[in-house]
Amino acid sequence: MPTDSTHPDYDASAAAWLSARDVFAGEAAVKAAGERYLPKLDSQTSEEYNAYRARASFFNATARTADGFVGLIFRREPTFKLPEISAGVGRALAAFVDDADMLGTSLSSYAKNVVTEVVTVGRAGSLVDWEDQVEQRAYAVLYTAEQILNWHTERVNGRNVLTLVVLREVSKKPVAGEDEFEADEIEQLRVLRLVPGGNAGWSYQVEIWQQGSKKSKRGKTEWTKVETRIPLRLGKPLPLIPFVFHGPRHSLPVVDKLPLADIIAVNLDHYRLNADYKHGMHFTALPTAWVSGFDKSSSLRIGSSSAWVAETPGATAGFLEFTGQGLTTFERAMDRDERLMAVLGTRMLEAQKRVGESADAIELRQSGENSVLSAVSLSVSDSLTHVLRWVYWWNSTEETPEAVGEDRVLVTVNSDFSTKGMASDEITAVVAAWQAGAISRDTMFELFRKGEVLPNGRTNEEEKRLVTSAPPPVSGTPVGEPNKQTGVVQ
């Protein structure tokens, strides 16, 4: 079996991923795909088809929906639970949060990239590696769904673990003797294997394969192994493959359905209907002049400065105009698709109601979209927590990454998409619960932060200092006069 063989789930999902990429890219990509999304009409020549396609317009409701979903999830920044920075592992994790991929991407931005990929195609992956040449630190590399070619899982020590992951990459190497600004891009495969051996019975090794000059009997370029290495931690091979899958509902290797698959299908149907509608308008919208009884060789010009004169008795002239319900059918069908896309998740495309709605009514109407967003948010929180566990493990002495619990590291992506904030009676209830000893001060501050009473950038310690430096006024003290107990001007 060739090294670049793909998993059956990859083959089954490749077409859907391609459609999603084209739709999210916009009108230019959809039209460049030609007949994949817009078939030719009967007896249509290439020139006629190009004009037919050019007249169509693509209403990209899918990309707008995805942008809205990602914006709602990151309306609040994700939170990270980390060890104290005074410890060595705490400093290492703080450096990772500031620069997750050694390219200057913070962990918050990295999380946004992961969510964007999950919302777009429903899949991504992170390889947590160790840089042992200069910086001596752990970092993450994000791979798209199309780059994860193959994967296998096996039952090892009573649990299912990854034993093979094949990743497609592009390696850039300077061209010998050429301009220093030019680089030769070489496609390569990074094969991650879990092989028998090592203290735990299994050890992790990495292979790099590149395309050679030889070709197989089938005419395909053969892959050649150019490097094999066994990453070490504390002088021992790794017992697991440090790769984490990201999905809309779970972090398992199984390929999940695209979150916006139904919207993509309706969006492409809307595009085809629009092409037929514009095609019909092109041939029927403008009135066409007709004459009877005029000399065929005469030149007839349309305009107020020209007059048509015929010497033939009974000569007539007029205009052909379209009548009927043909184009109206297309209009109704496009309106129906737009309503379907709104129901499937794009409430922002709906016609706005002219009557006032309460915040509770709006929140109830958007509960369907929030359920999809909550699933994505919880799944990505779980998978990114796995990534953070691997980084912690690289910098600690724990036996396996599973030994690092949520009491040490935790990633929480926003799952509260309500925009109405915390009401005054809710604030009173939270304060009363704190005064009664039912919740801690930190929990109260966190609830206020989620309810948008406190700004996200202010820590609990800073809020405590502000409260201490400016105590609340005593009941009955006029504003602008000193407090009788503290002497502070209110």
Predicted local confidence at residue 423, as pLDDT:
77
Tens of pLDDT, residues 414-441: 887 766 667 788 888 888 888 888 888 8
Instruction: Give the 3-state secondary structure of the chain.
Output: CCCCCCCHHHHHHHHHHHHHHHHHHCHHHHHHCHHHCCCCCCCCCHHHHHHHHHHCCCCCHHHHHHHHHHHHHCCCCCEEECCCCCCHHHHHHHHHHHCCCCCCCCHHHHHHHHHHHHHHHCCEEEEEEEECCCCCEEEEEEEEHHHEEEEEEEEECCEEEEEEEEEEEEEEEECCCCCCCCEEEEEEEEEEEEEECCCCCEEEEEEEEEEEEEECCCCCEEEEEEEEECCEECCEECCCCCEEEECCCCCCCCCCCCCCHHHHHHHHHHHHHHHHHHHHHHHHCCCEEEEECCCCCCCCCCCCCCCCCCCCCCCEEEEECCCCCHHHHHHHHHHHHHHHHHHCCCHHHCCCCCCCCCHHHHHHHCHHHHHHHHHHHHHHHHHHHHHHHHHHHHCCCCCCHHHCCCCCCEEECCCCCCCCCCCHHHHHHHHHHHHCCCCCHHHHHHHHHHCCCCCCCCCHHHHHHHHHHCCCCCCCCCCCCECCCCCCEC
The tokens describing 280, both together, are 């019909």
> Taking the domains of the chain in order of start, what are their residue ranges?
1-23+62-250+345-418
pLDDT in tens, 330-372: 778 778 877 777 776 645 444 445 455 555 555 545 544 567 7
Burial group, residue 191, by CB count within 10 angstroms (0-12, 13-18, 19+): buried
Geometric angle at alpha carbon 102, from 376 and 18, rounded to 5°: 45
Residue 444 pLDDT class (50, 70, 90 cuts): confident
Instruction: Out of 27-41, 160-174, 188-202, 443-457, give the one with best mean pLDDT.
Output: 27-41
Looking at residue 461, its amino acid is: E
pLDDT of residue 481: 53
Count of C-beta atoms within a 10 Å radius of residue 149? 18
Statement: residue 464 has pLDDT above 90: no
Give the mean pLDDT of 112-139: 93
Mean pLDDT check: name the lowest of 75-79, 132-136, 352-356.
Answer: 352-356
pLDDT in tens, 172-226: 765 565 666 666 778 899 999 999 875 557 899 999 999 876 665 666 778 899 9
User: pTM of this prediction?
Assistant: 0.79
Short-list 419, 434, 320, 412, CA closest to 80: 412
Residue 275 pLDDT = 86
The model's pLDDT over 36-49, given as tens digits with 9 standing for 90+, comes to 999 998 888 999 99
| Mean per-residue pLDDT, 26-37 | 93
Sign of the dihedral defined by the CA atoms of residues 390, 392, 396, 402, in that order? negative
> pLDDT digit string (tens) for 245-281?
999 999 999 999 898 898 899 899 888 888 888 888 7
What is the reported pLDDT for 316? Answer: 87
**Residues 284, 278: Cα–Cα separation, whole Å:** 10
pLDDT class of 308 with cuts at 50, 70, 90: confident
What average pLDDT does range 236-242 have in this prediction? Answer: 92
